[in-house]
Structure 1
Amino acid sequence: MTLLRRLLLVVLVFGLLLIGGLMRFVDTVARQAEPPPGQRTDGIVVLTGGSGRLTTAIRLLDAGHAERLLISGVSTGASKATLAQSLTQALPEHLLARPEQPGIDVPALMECCVDLGFEATDTAGNAAEAVAWATGRELHSLRLVTANYHMPRALVEFRRQAGSITILPHPVRPDFLRVEDWWRHRADGFFLLGEYSKYVAALIRMRIEDQIDGWLKADS
């Protein structure tokens, strides 16, 4: 019975820590806001994989929030032309440049000011790809555009690899996820639990790698 009680206590403590951590994570996601209007960076990097990210990034580029944009994690079959076509279809009609109205000229922006990154297959790869891009172009600050639920994990990876490059988070709120009342919707709850688990895994991996680096430096 004593062993059983101890086991139940461990399970209870673990469950409370999990719930507490998840609630703090969700609160962080819900409280995220866009940077103040007019705040500019040297470059913009947008991570593929969710609705609204690319349209947000191209609108920021068109509005002059940076001079150049990296789309990181592009599939090998994509090109500037296919992405321009998709963005043109996704943007509201009244925002697009037409002969009779000013607006966003997506193909022109793609040609002049957008770079595509094909190497990244995960968030750590996105960070490595973006930092290499920024370093090669001597950019000292990046506006990071990704979904609000993905931003905490993305910031862990980006800030670890960024060095002296400043990272400005610009979260995008996806239409499919209801963060404010997630506990009312089972699908949203399980989705956020999965994202929280990935976030914790990224933190643990980062600390393990830092510890190993510390041991290697001490031995050298």
Structure 2
Amino acid sequence: MSLLRDALVALTYPLALTLAVLLLALLAHRLRWMRTAGVLALAAFAWSAFWSIPHNAEWLRSSLEDRYVVAPDPASLPKADAIVVLGGGGYTWINRPGVTLEKLKYSRLAAGVRLYDAGRAPRVILSGGGEGVRTEACNMARGMEKLGVPHSALLIEERSTDTTTNAKYSAQIAREHDIHRVLLVTSALHMPRASLLFRRNGIQVVEVPVPEPTAGESWADRWLPSPRALWKSGRALKEYAGLLALCVEGKTT
């Protein structure tokens, strides 16, 4: 079941689905179903070509990102029992000198620090597992401490491997520390699915979405196909697939 799920997730990325459909087209060609093979091949290329256009990628992503408003001032948000920051993104800046909050506009960690500094919650749950010497949550803790959050305020969740287990294990920590309401910090794109999963685990959620960089305003930035646009489209399609799976699950369980 896990392998099937991973395969379906992989197919949400346009190039992966294009390759899969091209294999079907090759099979149809071998069977001498020429018209079917041609239609499949054309559809396969058109699918990736469409989502490689930055304008289309941004349109798809905005349908998820615009569901929650990005608060311009952390102090305007309500208080909660804790801040939850989900893993994601790079942490190479942790080892750079002179890093400030102002330079980390798109960082989830920085957003969590801003909430803590604004007195929105006394504790921060950092959620992210991984293998090796340091889990993602441990790297996140290093970043938080570098930006001024005391270690005593941090609660580390390092068993999770995906958003489902982010919510499951963070909820366990929340119950252990009498935490009922959290400020949930993740990317705006990821927020609809993450919020739903945390609510299903019995946590009251105030969504704090973090924006991601968008395409430029020039004609070339908006309309010339690019690998980055294809990757960004794939992330959005993955989120939609995850939301669809949750909706189906909600109706059947």
Aligned to 1:50: 89
Aligned to 1:29: 65
1:178 is displaced (CA, Å) by 0.7
Measured in 1, the distance between the counterparts of 2:140 and 2:239 equals 29
Measured in 1, the distance between the counterparts of 2:166 and 2:139 equals 21
**Does the C-alpha gap of structure 1 residues 129 and 139 become closer, same or farther in structure 2, counting only changes over 3 Å?**
same
The 3-state SS of whatever aligns with 2:249 is helix
Verify the 8 A CA contact 1:149 1:192 in the aligned structure 2.
no
Deviations, residues 21-53 of structure 1 (Å, cap 9, x unaligned): 983642441564334614211111001112511
**Does the C-alpha gap of structure 1 residues 179 and 129 become closer, same or farther in structure 2, counting only changes over 3 Å?**
farther
1:130 is displaced (CA, Å) by 1.8
Deviations, residues 96-149 of structure 1 (Å, cap 9, x unaligned): xxxxxxxx3x3xx112x1011011100111111222222222222111111122
1:183 is displaced (CA, Å) by 4.1
1:194-213 equivalences under 5 Å are: 194-213=234-253
The 3-state SS of whatever aligns with 1:55 is helix
Q: Which amino acid aligns with 2:207?
A: P
For the aligned residue pairs, the C-alpha RMSD in angstroms reads 3.6
Verify the 8 A CA contact 1:156 1:202 in the aligned structure 2.
no
In structure 2, stretches of 5+ residues that fail to align are 1-34, 91-106
Aligned to 2:204: 166
Identity within the alignment, %:
27
Q: Report how many aligned residue pairs link the two structures.
A: 183
Measured in 2, the distance between the counterparts of 1:180 and 1:155 equals 29
Instruction: Please say if 1:134 is aligned against 2:174.
Output: yes
Verify the 8 A CA contact 1:74 1:116 in the aligned structure 2.
no
Q: TM-score, normalised by structure 2?
A: 0.58
Verify the 8 A CA contact 1:22 1:196 in the aligned structure 2.
no
1:185-196 equivalences under 5 Å are: 186-196=226-236
Verify the 8 A CA contact 1:45 1:143 in the aligned structure 2.
yes
Verify the 8 A CA contact 1:141 1:166 in the aligned structure 2.
yes
In structure 1, stretches of 5+ residues that fail to align are 92-103, 214-220
Verify the 8 A CA contact 1:45 1:70 in the aligned structure 2.
yes
Verify the 8 A CA contact 2:160 2:166 in the aligned structure 1.
yes
**Does the C-alpha gap of structure 1 residues 30 and 200 become closer, same or farther in structure 2, counting only changes over 3 Å?**
closer
Instruction: Please say if 1:114 is aligned against 2:169.
Output: no
Q: Which amino acid aligns with 2:88?
A: G
Q: TM-score, normalised by structure 1?
A: 0.66
Q: Which amino acid aligns with 1:50?
A: G
**Does the C-alpha gap of structure 1 residues 146 and 49 become closer, same or farther in structure 2, counting only changes over 3 Å?**
same
Measured in 2, the distance between the counterparts of 1:149 and 1:82 equals 22
Aligned to 2:194: 154
Higher mean Cα deviation, 63-72 or 189-198? 189-198
